[in-house]
Structure 1
Amino acid sequence: MRPHIGIHDFEDAKVLVAEIPELAPNRKPCFSRGAGMTQGSFVRVGDGDRKLTSYEVQLLLASRGQPKDDEAPVPGTGLADFDATLVTALLNRLRTRRPYAFGELDDVAALQRAKALVADDDGTIVASVGGLLSLGSYPQESFPQLMVTFVHYPTAEGANTETGERFVDNVVAEGPIPVMVRDTLLAVRKNMTRRSVVRGAGRADIWQYPEAALREAIVNALVHRDLSPEARGTQVQIEMYPDRLTIRNPGGLFGPVTEDQLGEEGVSSARNASLLRLLEDVPWPGGTHAVCENRGSGIRTMINALRTARMSLPEFKNRVSTFSVTFPNHTLLGEETVDWLNSLGEHGLSESQCVGLAILREGGYLDNQTYRTETRVDSRVATQELGDLIARELVVQTGNRRWARYRLAPALLPSGGSAGSGVRRSDRRGELLKALEGRERSRVELAAATGLTGQTVAYWLRILRSEGLVEATEEKVRNPATRYRRTGKIALGEDGGTKREP
């Protein structure tokens, strides 16, 4: 191991941090040589270790190369097991869009080149797993669990133990992938409600979850799921709760893609490459657009749809054997949140700062990268805006540099620990003016005298200078050593503000 070692300030202490880089996918799993790969491979869970199952070990080994499970032959099947309408639409698109590869081939040869049909061990032409899933009239006849289950639970914990109600709705979506996506969306839409959100000077009614985001998440779960024989007994699962919706599929992220990279332009990797290629030319039922039109853009489309709806971004959880995406059931800038932001009495907040505060109000935290992802600002703007929120005493920072985390200021939190209606902070001008009475002081000295942070001192000094109540002794106001002094005769108002004496 070659750890990156550094010493960092954290909560008034020095912390020694050794960061161990993750192994490349083609070298996993890491295991104890004495115990062997199957018995000596572990995954970290909380503050303990869990031994990987044999399935998880095999999944990591398969991820060292390009899996071919979607090209595996399905004995006893053939062209007759395909939906004729889907086959015709696929062949027409292939011959129109890719004439060099498919223009001169007959139907069977074209389907073989597209990997929808493959040769069995004895040379018989049969359907592939990917061919059945994208074109099959009823793939579940061969693979009963390659389907989607949707369950709507009555409480955030699942079943209602008081009333005995296990679920509100329970739907199974079967058929080829285009049909499963359509029927799953219908089931989710039937169980969704509409909410009112603030849009400019008015309000608009929107669904709980944007359909574009749901569609991309469902398609991704079906297309990128593990199709190895060990995973064919597990379905794609969708669980709806009052506060969230989770979509889960077997098989974690494949290739070099990590949770932090999801949604970044140019970052894409397909476990089932042939299935994905097929679905780029298989249309939606009754439509002309393909199921997967733009490779690698699904997560970005999902994120953009949520941003447009002013909703929190989804939470991605990548495990060796599963991958899930969870959509929180709230809009960031709903009427209640906008009222809370107005109650803070702050002027000049940017739209991205309002979004950041709304996220923190829901009880979460932010770092620089999360702030950039949520608000679509660059690193420079994110650093500047987060610093401004700290200076306004709306946000507090823990940790430094890459370990910096931001949470809502304690003054805005009720005793319960979640954001309340908003408590206006004290006006700091009087404290600074008192500290400058009869003397000159630098920002560092003012921070020591008042107990305020350097950022808060700088924020209120800018206000006092703009009001003509304080002046710098030199032009270089960005220099921490620059000293400040009061101007003219100033008296404190009874309300804690300031006023110039006549």
Structure 2
Amino acid sequence: MIERDIALIDELRNRPAEESCIEFKKDNTNPEVIGKLCSALSNKARIEGLDSAYLLWGIEDETHQISGTIFNPETKKVSNQLFQLWLAQRLKPSIPFSFRTVEHPDGKVVLLEIPATTSAPVEFNGTSYIRIGSATPKLSDYPEHFQKLIDNMRPYTWEQGVAKSFTTEEDVLQLIDYPSYFSLTGQRLPDNRTGIFEHLQADRLISKDISGRWNINNIGALLFATNLNKFESSLARKAVRFIAYDGDHRASTVIHRRDDIKGYAAGFEALVSYINGLLPRNEHIGAAFREVQPLFPELAIRELIANALIHQDLTIRGAGPQIELFRDRIEITNPGHPLVQVDRMIDLPPRSRNEMLASLMRRMGICEEQGSGLDKVIIHVELYQLPAPKFQADENSMQVILYGPRTFADMTSAERVRACYQHAVITYLSGSRMKNLSLCKRFGIKTKNAAQASQVIKTALNQEKIRVADPGHPRAGYIPWWA
């Protein structure tokens, strides 16, 4: 964006000479010097609480006057290798630096924008550097700077990153569904633009850029975008995707598909209503229902979608939450390995990578104020007498599978044991203990066939999913293995 780059160059020139995260040069293009400066400035920017540092060619260091430069980062080579590739290979961890050649009205300027490090001190050729005054020493020689860098990296989150920069007020109001923000957070919509921007900025949905423009932060776009496709593809790919099949596997014909374009909060109710409207209806004969109901509990769908949105790993590029509806089940998948052990998700407090996102969604009533809501999911599944949900994780994703109605006789041994364990957890959390009779009710087993429940309990005990609550009194019931 040429206009923003010109404005940025002028603002950087007007800053005090002692700014430690800005470096001016004329034509010094020594690759080793640039590499060390990238490391030093990235580390220094994080220490100073800045998003980026800058290295500029074509500007006099003392006067900040534009003199022009012959430096061309696009064609420069180091040992027959393109300079930018050479530099990227030597910076660890990788940082998305950006060289931009700007035809400023006063002359040619090359601008290098260096993002502040987020995960570890940036090294050049295996060594971390730091900027102190005009010097670029090794970071290891300054332990106090190293400690401050580590401290400042801890609170950094993806949510605070910039989704769109140098945005006019008019564009912010078009790109962000601000009426939904005020409605969902229970605040009165201000009658003037200043009030609207003060609230959006207070919740860090937007932040000030230069020249009176604004940044839309990642969390602002992700929650309240009117259209995620109007942002970079890396953000747009985090939109929720829904697919419905006419069979039991992915080779079946796709009968419905929806790629949500609205932000999570702005589009949540419409998404849940859309999915619930497509759910097959079935006559349940469980303990609580004797009427036609959706194949899956609507509350369970709502809670599991909210959990997928909140607990995903937003730093994984090119992936977002996905919901797949099959004839016999629904699968809800989100990017990122869970932070809580899979079989402890029902009882342990949730741990979220995305605290700002979780906090705002709690305020808006989209997710539980306390807990993960999974206990409610299990309770409703039991009321419908459905097979137990399956929670499974791999290195890069988390998935929850809700199954449609199936009789006890049709359940596999693994499904019965999983239901037994989850029932033990729910009864334990309610201050009670699982017993043979309560498990019979959960499965819809008649009392005369109680031996079937006893066999499931025996198998669960052997697999150490549950244990006897009081070994001295075997009739006292059963509790989860971890209790």
Seen in structure 2, the aligned counterparts of structure 1 residues 110 and 182 have a Cα distance that, compared at 3 Å, is: closer
Of 197, 207, 230, the residue aligned with 2:294 is: 207
Partner of residue 362, structure 2: 280
Paired with 1:322 and 1:222, the residues of 2 have a C-alpha distance of 12
Using the TM superposition, give the Cα deviation of residue 181 of structure 1 relative to its aligned residue in structure 2, in angstroms. 2.5
Partner of residue 137, structure 1: 226
Partner of residue 369, structure 1: 421
SS of match in other structure, 1:74: strand
Q: State whether residues 182 and 189 of structure 2, in contact with CA within 8 Å, keep that contact through their aligned partners in structure 1.
A: no
Q: State whether residues 147 and 180 of structure 1, in contact with CA within 8 Å, keep that contact through their aligned partners in structure 2.
A: no
SS of match in other structure, 1:366: helix
Partner of residue 182, structure 2: 88
Structure 2, gaps ≥5 residues long: 1-91, 94-118, 121-149, 441-446, 468-473, 476-483
Counterpart code for 1:212: L
Q: State whether residues 171 and 187 of structure 1, in contact with CA within 8 Å, keep that contact through their aligned partners in structure 2.
A: no
Of 291, 303, 313, the residue aligned with 1:226 is: 313
Q: State whether residues 371 and 382 of structure 1, in contact with CA within 8 Å, keep that contact through their aligned partners in structure 2.
A: no
* 1:482-493 mapped onto 2 (5 Å cutoff): none
Using the TM superposition, give the Cα deviation of residue 195 of structure 1 relative to its aligned residue in structure 2, in angstroms. 0.9
Q: State whether residues 181 and 266 of structure 2, in contact with CA within 8 Å, keep that contact through their aligned partners in structure 1.
A: no
Counterpart code for 2:323: I
Of 315, 324, 332, the residue aligned with 1:239 is: 324
Q: State whether residues 312 and 374 of structure 1, in contact with CA within 8 Å, keep that contact through their aligned partners in structure 2.
A: no
Using the TM superposition, give the Cα deviation of residue 324 of structure 1 relative to its aligned residue in structure 2, in angstroms. 1.0
Partner of residue 64, structure 2: none
Paired with 2:288 and 2:450, the residues of 1 have a C-alpha distance of 29
Seen in structure 2, the aligned counterparts of structure 1 residues 210 and 399 have a Cα distance that, compared at 3 Å, is: closer
Partner of residue 36, structure 2: none
Using the TM superposition, give the Cα deviation of residue 208 of structure 1 relative to its aligned residue in structure 2, in angstroms. 0.5
SS of match in other structure, 1:168: strand
Using the TM superposition, give the Cα deviation of residue 327 of structure 1 relative to its aligned residue in structure 2, in angstroms. 0.3
Seen in structure 2, the aligned counterparts of structure 1 residues 192 and 126 have a Cα distance that, compared at 3 Å, is: same
* 1:239-388 mapped onto 2 (5 Å cutoff): 239-254=324-339, 257-264=340-347, 267-282=349-364, 290-292=365-367, 294-330=369-405, 337=407, 360=411, 364-366=415-417, 369-373=421-425, 381-382=434-435
Paired with 2:299 and 2:288, the residues of 1 have a C-alpha distance of 25
Partner of residue 447, structure 1: none
TM-score, structure 1 normalization: 0.50
Counterpart code for 2:366: V
Partner of residue 282, structure 2: 195
Q: State whether residues 73 and 119 of structure 1, in contact with CA within 8 Å, keep that contact through their aligned partners in structure 2.
A: no
Counterpart code for 1:262: M
Seen in structure 2, the aligned counterparts of structure 1 residues 123 and 318 have a Cα distance that, compared at 3 Å, is: farther
Partner of residue 53, structure 1: none
* 1:38-187 mapped onto 2 (5 Å cutoff): 68-76=157-165, 77=167, 79-80=172-173, 81-89=175-183, 93=187, 106-119=195-208, 125-142=214-231, 143-160=235-252, 166-187=253-274
* Higher normalized contact order (CA 8 Å, seq sep 6+, divided by chain length): 1
Partner of residue 415, structure 1: none
Using the TM superposition, give the Cα deviation of residue 405 of structure 1 relative to its aligned residue in structure 2, in angstroms. 8.4
User: What CA deviation, in whole Å up to 9, does each residue of 1:11-38 have, x standing for no partner?
Assistant: xxxxxxxxxxxxxxxxxxxxxxxxxx99
User: What CA deviation, in whole Å up to 9, does each residue of 1:356-403 have, x standing for no partner?
Assistant: x56856763417633413666767544897899999476544586663
Seen in structure 2, the aligned counterparts of structure 1 residues 131 and 391 have a Cα distance that, compared at 3 Å, is: closer
User: What CA deviation, in whole Å up to 9, does each residue of 1:310-356 have, x standing for no partner?
Assistant: 3233211122311111100116xxxxx4xxxxxxxxxxxxxxxxxxx
Paired with 2:345 and 2:464, the residues of 1 have a C-alpha distance of 20
SS of match in other structure, 1:118: strand
Counterpart code for 1:279: M
Aligned length: 301
Partner of residue 107, structure 2: none
Seen in structure 2, the aligned counterparts of structure 1 residues 234 and 122 have a Cα distance that, compared at 3 Å, is: farther
Using the TM superposition, give the Cα deviation of residue 175 of structure 1 relative to its aligned residue in structure 2, in angstroms. 0.6
Using the TM superposition, give the Cα deviation of residue 246 of structure 1 relative to its aligned residue in structure 2, in angstroms. 0.2
Partner of residue 8, structure 1: none
Q: State whether residues 173 and 183 of structure 1, in contact with CA within 8 Å, keep that contact through their aligned partners in structure 2.
A: no
Seen in structure 2, the aligned counterparts of structure 1 residues 186 and 405 have a Cα distance that, compared at 3 Å, is: same
Structure 1, gaps ≥5 residues long: 1-36, 39-56, 97-104, 161-165, 283-289, 332-336, 338-356, 407-454, 459-502
Indicate the larger mover: 389-398 or 311-320: 389-398
Seen in structure 2, the aligned counterparts of structure 1 residues 293 and 158 have a Cα distance that, compared at 3 Å, is: closer
Q: State whether residues 312 and 359 of structure 1, in contact with CA within 8 Å, keep that contact through their aligned partners in structure 2.
A: no
Q: State whether residues 287 and 383 of structure 2, in contact with CA within 8 Å, keep that contact through their aligned partners in structure 1.
A: no
User: What CA deviation, in whole Å up to 9, does each residue of 1:237-262 have, x standing for no partner?
Assistant: 111112211011111213xx221221
Paired with 2:398 and 2:422, the residues of 1 have a C-alpha distance of 20
Paired with 1:325 and 1:139, the residues of 2 have a C-alpha distance of 25
1:403 aligns with 2:464: yes
Q: State whether residues 223 and 266 of structure 2, in contact with CA within 8 Å, keep that contact through their aligned partners in structure 1.
A: no
Paired with 1:270 and 1:302, the residues of 2 have a C-alpha distance of 19
Paired with 1:216 and 1:399, the residues of 2 have a C-alpha distance of 27
Paired with 2:460 and 2:285, the residues of 1 have a C-alpha distance of 35
Seen in structure 2, the aligned counterparts of structure 1 residues 242 and 202 have a Cα distance that, compared at 3 Å, is: closer
User: What CA deviation, in whole Å up to 9, does each residue of 1:157-201 have, x standing for no partner?
Assistant: 2224xxxxx312222222111343334324423432211122569
Paired with 2:303 and 2:292, the residues of 1 have a C-alpha distance of 22
Q: State whether residues 181 and 215 of structure 1, in contact with CA within 8 Å, keep that contact through their aligned partners in structure 2.
A: no
Using the TM superposition, give the Cα deviation of residue 309 of structure 1 relative to its aligned residue in structure 2, in angstroms. 2.5
User: What CA deviation, in whole Å up to 9, does each residue of 1:276-319 have, x standing for no partner?
Assistant: 2223344xxxxxxx323524342223223323323233211122
CA RMSD of the aligned region, Å? 4.3
Using the TM superposition, give the Cα deviation of residue 72 of structure 1 relative to its aligned residue in structure 2, in angstroms. 0.9
